[in-house]
Amino acid sequence: MVDSYLRERSSKDWKKSEKHGAAEWLAERWTSIALIVLTGWSLWSAYGLMGQGYDAALAFLRVPLNAGLMALTFVITVWHTYMGLNANVLDYFPNSRLIKLVSFIFCLLLLIAALGGLFLAFKV
């Protein structure tokens, strides 16, 4: 009974992750593991820059390795954030496309702002 129930329901009615198979579940895991390393590096860098003023912060971001790691940190953070926000949207507002869209636009703007600021600091 359970098997036929699952087969009848899963193809069209279930939450999105059920249709995507394991991809989203795996992405949640590997972004988590990457963020343990990247936010650790960010926190260590922030500790070094604290109280050192604007020039030290700018010099830090103009090192290509630092700028690259910062950009990578933000790309993965925003991806992880997007999946996390979506899990909340699916739980509390399962039928709202609007809230899903708002969370997507928010994540996109966050990424553009961070990478834009980083680009200005690095290039200009």
Partner 1 sequence: MTQPPNAPKAVYRPLSPHLQVWRFHITMLTSILHRATGLALVVGAVLVAAWLVAIGLTASGCFPQAYTVFLSFAASPFGLFIWFGLSLAGFIHLTGGIRHLIWDMGLGFELKSANALSWWGLILGIALTVGFWAVLLATGKVVL
Which residues of the shown chain bind partner 1 in the complex (CB under 8 A)? Answer: 4, 7-9, 13, 29, 32-33, 35-36, 39, 42-43, 47, 50-51, 54, 57-58, 61, 70, 74, 77-78, 81, 84-85, 88, 91-92, 94, 110, 113-114, 116-121, 124
| Residue placing its CB nearer to partner 1 in the complex, 4 or 97 | 4
Dihedrals phi, psi of 116, to nearest 5 degrees: -65, -45
Q: Report how far residue 79's alpha carbon sits from residue 31's, in angstroms, rounded to the nearest whole number.
A: 8
- Residue with structure tokens 């960010």? 42
| Nearest-approach distance from CB 10 to partner 1, in angstroms | 12
- Between 46 and 98, whose beta carbon lies closer to partner 1? 46
